[in-house]
Amino acid sequence: MSKIFETENDLYNEEVTVKAFCNKFNIDYGKQAHFDIDFFICKDGKQIGEVEVKCYNVPHDKYPTQILSSRKYLTMMARCFAFARTDEMEYRPILLCRYSDGQILYCNFRTIIGKIEFPQIGGRKPREGAVNDIEWVVRIPKKFFKKL
């Protein structure tokens, strides 16, 4: 199992970011378990989707794409297809990114199905005790993101 590098400050930043998103769209949220998508979102007491939150120490325009682990991407895509087969809800899988310049961008995964490159190896400089810093990732072009 991989060491957990998430700090209390990281969790606080995620919470502030998801709260801003939910306030804009008048929806509620709840934290999910470690190693899952970060938050579920609800409207009128019913779950309507999930939000993966990424907080970065770079400005929003530093890179032309947003990187996401293939595992998180595939989890959200599988849930899109699973919920597409029910009438209970239209699942909204959201990638929400906050940057050092204060910008918050978001992307509904439904808008990128079939429009991004195949996964490739990527990630960050490996940290001691980490097993997933270099992994399969997808790169999502920023053109699919909207400003909050």
Reading the chain (148 residues) residue by residue, the pLDDT tens digits are 444 556 788 889 999 999 999 999 999 999 988 668 999 999 998 888 999 999 999 999 999 988 888 888 888 888 877 776 565 557 888 999 999 999 999 999 888 766 666 666 655 565 566 556 567 778 888 999 999 9
First to last CA, the chain: 35
User: Sheet containing 134-141: which strands, arranged edge to edge?
Assistant: 65-69, 134-141, 120-123
Q: What is the pLDDT of residue 74?
A: 84
Q: How many angstroms separate the CA atoms of 7 and 145, rounded?
A: 27
Q: What is the pLDDT of residue 87?
A: 58
Q: What is the pLDDT of residue 113?
A: 67
> And the tokens for 16?
């502030």
Q: What is the pLDDT of residue 2?
A: 47
Q: What is the pLDDT of residue 148?
A: 95
3-state secondary structure of 43: strand
> And the tokens for 106?
């978001």
Q: Using an 8 Å Cβ cutoff, are 89 and 46 in contact? A: yes
Q: What is the pLDDT of residue 97?
A: 96
